[in-house]
Structure formats: structure tokens, C-alpha cells
Amino acid sequence: MFRDIYITFEQFLHNFGAMCLFIVRMVLSTPSVFVKRFGLVAYQVYNAGALSLVVIMISGLFVGGVLGLLAYSSLEQFNAEDTTGIFAGLGLVKGIGPVITALLFAGRAGTALTSEIGLMKATDQLSAMEMMAVDPLRYVAVPRFLGGVISMPLLTAIFTAIGLLGAHLVAVEQLGVDVGSYWQQMQNVLDMEDIQEGITKSVVFGIVASSVAVWEGYNSTPTAEGVGRATTRTVVVTSIAVLFFNYMITAMYL
Amino acid sequence: MLCYARLADRLGTPNNRSGKLPDNLIEVRDLDFSRGDRTIFKNLNLTIAQGDVTAIMGPSGTGKTTLLQLITRQLNPDRGQVVVDGVDIATLNHKELYKLRQRFGVLFQNGALLTDMSVFENVAFPIREHTKLPDSLIRHVVLTKLHAVGLRGAAYLMPAQLSGGMARRVALARAIAMDPDVLIYDEPFVGLDPISMGVIVKLLGQINDALDITSIVVSHDVHDVAAVADFSYVIADGNVAAAGTPAELKQTDSELVKQFMHGLPDGPVGFHYDAPDYEEQLLGKSVK
């Protein structure tokens, strides 16, 4: 049993090291890819970002609505329902917005990236590129990585804005909180540091989600089952990593 | 000779010692390669002559495709050397390796077309990546290559709309798009109907002669390969079991080669994969 644990741990370290090296290679290639293959990067921003907009916007509306509802029902007991905006604002900007956006990103765009790259590998398309002296890391991996990294903060901003609107709809339009109080209280409490925390989280989550998705696809076993497993791993690993980094960044900003 | 000078110019590499064409463009020397515990090659030696069509044949699972991957350094040997044009490819850095690969055209077993691009864009892909030719000239080159494989009319189809034989021909057009010096065919006849197979065989010979290139064909289709190959190797048990012209191979005394060349069901290559005793296994006496 100890031997199995040792082998599993060794394998984990090996994979983790290989993934770190892969990310370093991607980061080092980023400037040249950004300049020379800007079209590919722009397409991947559309692919990972624009195509995720619908799910992000709908989710943002409902998450904001629930937040407004819960904040109102809790604060009402202390006659503090006018501060619902603070709850919604802080919750969405600092925590829920970046986290749920990252989890939705992993489920929508991350899985798509992994399965696309995995299938390219399974059908020898990556090998064909290598043999045409075109580095698949630069042509396939880095543009997708950058597309995700650029998309995530934009999606987070949209999710948060729609979430605040959803909370407004519930708290102000449905439950009768004063509109001036809702926005004024939020504006008074939220400062630049809170927004900076949200942006930091979204950038870190973007790097985490995109690198995991691209790595899993690139490193998948080139079979139908292998691609399926890699896609599942993308969601699991990204979710755990996002929640871990969320805790770390929150603690860092306190 | 012209072809070799063209290569040397393109690569910026010295035109090989005396300026003469090397007899052997590719040499595999004392090569060992294993996957896990399984030995694929043990002390393998072979040479690919410049300008020839060289066939690498052998029963399934003997490592023919692996050998191609070693020749193009998609894999690294455990021991030994692969020397291309006088250079040990293990000594090349990433940039030099990619420069060398521009001299290779590879036809993958399944075509390996990029599925998000049209046929035209697939053939144009290596040209766009490695040259700064204007679009009008790229269009001219691509249509010329597609015409050579008879698929100019399919230029704007997507790979999903092609049959297996058509996909293979598009992949061939892409492989010759950069006028390579070495063209590698990995099982080019697998899964093709007789007409498509005939077309590929004809193209293979024509391209080799017209472009004056070196071709390596990996296949276990003895008869079709024999029609185009100048020289053949039969790989078995991790090494070269026989080598010679197709006619010479047919005359060989080796039981294994005889079995392979004549497609005999019985011989050194057994029908059964290694297994415990049949009776013992059925009666549950064997642990496996």
C-alpha cells in the first residue's frame, strides 16, 4: 500500500512539474505569439469569451437575484435592508463574481478547449503540424491560453455587472428597497482595493483555468476515452484550483 | 544533383563534404528503442538512398511507424544515431530540427488534415507558415498541387466532406506543398478501395520521379509497394530481417520473409499472440 501511495505521489509530482514547465514555455512564447499570431489570439478571445457570454449573463442575473433576495431577507430582520447594495456589491465584486465566472468558464470554454486539443492530438493534427515544422505549442496552445486569460476578466466584469443588475431587480424593483440607497451605499463601501481584488482574482483564475484546459488537452491520451477523461479532469482540477486560489487571494487582501 | 544543391541552399548547410550527393541521405546506426519493458528495436542499422523509393515493410506491430517517428525525431532513440544528410539529428536544437523538418513531407496514415480548414487552406498552411509569398502566388501553388493529385475541384470542401482516399490525396498535396526533399508515407494504402489505391501508387511513383526526391514508404502491402519501391527492408523482431529489391526479397531463403512476402498463414510469425497453455487456461490451472 505504501508503495502505491509513493508511486501515486511520484506520478503527481512528475505531472505537476511537467505542467509547470509547459506553462513556463507558454508564457515565454506569449510575446511573440501575441505579435505574430494576433489573429489567432483574437479568434480565441471570441471562441472562449464571446461564445461564453450567454451562459455568463444568464447565470449572473440569477446569482445576483439570489444574492439580493438573501441579503434583503437577512438584513430586513435588523431593519437594515437599505444596505442590501453593500452585500450584493461586495459579494459579487470580491468573491462570487470571479469564482462563479471561473467555474462556468471551466465548464463551458475549458472543456471545449481540452476536447478540441485532445481530438487534434488523437487525429494526428498536432503531429502533422510538428512535421510541417510548425510548433503546435505556439500555433494551438498559446493562442488558446491567451484567449482564456484575456476573456476571463472581461467575462467577470460582465457577470458582476449583470449580477448587480439582478440584485437590483429583486431588491429594488420587487422588494421595495430605495434605489438611491441601494446604489449609494454600495458606492460608499466599495473602494478601489475591492475592485482590485476582484480583478486580481479574475486574472489568476484566467491563467489557472486556461492553462489547465490547454495542458489537459495537450497531454491527453489520444483515444476517445482519454479525451473524455481529460475533459473531466479539466473541470475538477480547475474547480479545486480556483477555490484554493480564491481563499489565498482573499486572505492576502485582508 | 540540382535537387541536392537546392536543399543545401535552402538549409544553409554545407553541401556535404565534397559537394557530391550523399549516396545515403538517411542512416540509422546501431539504434535501440524500447517502450516500457518492450524492446522495439535492438541494434537496428539501415540506410535510405538518395533519390530512391525505399519501402519499410514488416508484419503489424514490428515498429514501422515508430521507425518513421525516430527518423523525424518525434521520438528519441535509447541508443544509436539517426543521421540525415550527414548530421546526427539528436544534436539539433529546436530551431535546427524544425528547419530540417521543412525538408520532409509526411503523409500520415489517416491524412491528419486540419479539420477547421478547407482543403485549400490545408495545402496552403505550410506555405503561409514558412514563406512570405503573396496570396495570389500561394493560390497558384496550391491549385497546382491540388491539380497534381486530381482534387483541384475539391479545393473549397472541408475535410469532413472528403472520402478516405480523397483525404489521403489532399494530405499528399499538402506534403509536397513545400517541395520537400524527403517524402514519407505512413501506410498510404490502408483502408483504400482499389481505385484510390491505384491512384496513390501512381502518384507516389510520379512524384518521386518528377520532383527528384527521396521517398520512404511504410507499408505491409507487399504487392503495391513492390510496384514502386527501388529497395525494401523487412523489419521483424526489432531488426532488419531482410533487405533488397522486391525481386530479391521474393527469392530469399528466410522463412520469415517468405511467409511475409507470400502472405502465408503459418511460419515463424505465429497466428497466436503469446499465451499460456490453452487447456490449462480453460481448466483454470493457469493464473492468467
Min Cα distance A212 → chain B (Å) is 23
C-alpha span between B182 and B4 (Å, rounded): 11
Residue of B65, B110, B131, B216 to mutate when probing chain A, most A C-beta within 10 A: B110
Closest Cβ opposite residue A131 in set B106, B114, B115: B106
Structure confidence by residue, pLDDT tens digits, A119-149: 999 999 999 999 999 999 999 999 999 999 9
Q: Out of B112, B125, B174, whose CB is closest to A127?
A: B112
Greater pLDDT, A158 or B15: A158
State residue B42 phi and psi, 5-degree precision. Answer: -130, 110
pLDDT in tens, A185-199: 899 999 999 999 999
Chain B hits for A131, Cβ within 8 Å: 72, 74, 101, 104, 106
Higher-pLDDT residue of B204 and A55 is: A55
Would you call A28 an interface residue with chain B, using a CB distance cutoff of 8 Å? no
Contact check, Cβ <8 Å, A123/B112? yes
Kindly state whether residue B137 falls inside one of the protein's structural domains: no
Q: Cβ contact (<8 Å) for B98 and A125?
A: no
pLDDT at residue B279 above 50? yes
Residues 108-127 of B with CB under 8 A from A: 108-110, 112-115, 125-126
Lowest mean pLDDT among A29-33, B126-130, B201-205: B201-205
In a domain, B274, yes or no: yes
pLDDT(A66) > 60? yes
Q: B82 is in which domain, residue-wise?
A: 2-103+180-282
Core vs surface per residue A155-192: b (16+ CB within 10 A) or e: bbbbbbbbbbbbbbebbbeebebeeebbeebbeeebee
Q: Say what the pLDDT of residue A238 is.
A: 95
Query: Which comes out higher in pLDDT, residue A233 or B281?
Result: A233
Please tell me which of the candidates B72, B102, B110 has its beta carbon nearest to residue A124.
B110
Find the residue in B nearest to A122 (Cα): B112
pLDDT at residue B234 in the model:
87
In a domain, B116, yes or no: no
Asked if the model's pLDDT at residue A250 lies above 90, the reply is yes
**Alpha-carbon span B105 to B78, nearest angstrom:** 25
Q: Tell me how far the alpha carbon of residue B137 is from its chain's centroid.
A: 29
| Exposed/middle/buried for residue B119 (C-beta within 10 Å: 0-12, 13-18, 19+) | buried
Q: Which residues of B touch A129 (CB under 8 A)?
A: 114
pTM score of the predicted model? 0.84
> How many helices and strands, by DSSP H and E, does chain A display?
12, 0
Output the CA angle A229-B108-B44, nearest 5 degrees.
Answer: 100
Contacts of B108 in chain A (CB under 8 A): 124, 127-128
**DSSP β-bridge partners for residue B46:** B28
The confidence score (pLDDT) of residue B281 equals 86
> 3-class SS at A65?
helix
Q: How many other CB atoms sit within 10 Å of the CB of residue A202?
A: 26
CA-to-CA distance for A169 and A97, rounded, in angstroms?
17
pLDDT above 80: residue A64: yes
- Most confidently modeled range among A187-201, B18-32, B237-251: A187-201
Inter-chain touch B106–A123, beta carbons under 8 Å = no
The pLDDT of residue B22 is 52
> In this structure, what CATH number is given to the domain that contains residue B250?
3.40.50.300
Q: What is the DSSP string of A14-57?
A: HHHHHHHHHHHHHHHHHHHHHHHTHHHHHHHHHHHTGGGHHHHH
Query: DSSP character for A81?
Result: G
Q: Which residues of chain B neighbour A128 with C-beta distances below 8 Å? A: 106, 108, 112-114
Cβ distance B57 to B45 under 8 Å? no
Domain count, chain B: 1
Instruction: Please indicate, yes or no, if residue B214 is contained in any of the structural domains.
Output: yes
* Residue A144 neighbours by CB under 8 Å, 6+ apart: A44, A47, A48, A113, A117, A210, A213, A214
- C-alpha B224/C-alpha A72 separation (Å) is 79
Exposure string over B41-58, b if 16+ CB within 10 A, otherwise e: bbebebbbbbbbbbbbbb
Task: Please indicate, yes or no, if residue B66 is contained in any of the structural domains.
Answer: yes
Domain ranges of chain A: 48-253
Residue B230 has pLDDT above 90, yes or no: no
ipTM, two decimals:
0.80
Contact B72 A125 (CB under 8 A): no
Distance CA A172, CA A244 (A): 34
Judged by CB atoms within 8 Å, which residues 103-142 of A form the interface with B? Answer: 120, 123-125, 127-135
Mean pLDDT of A170-181: 91
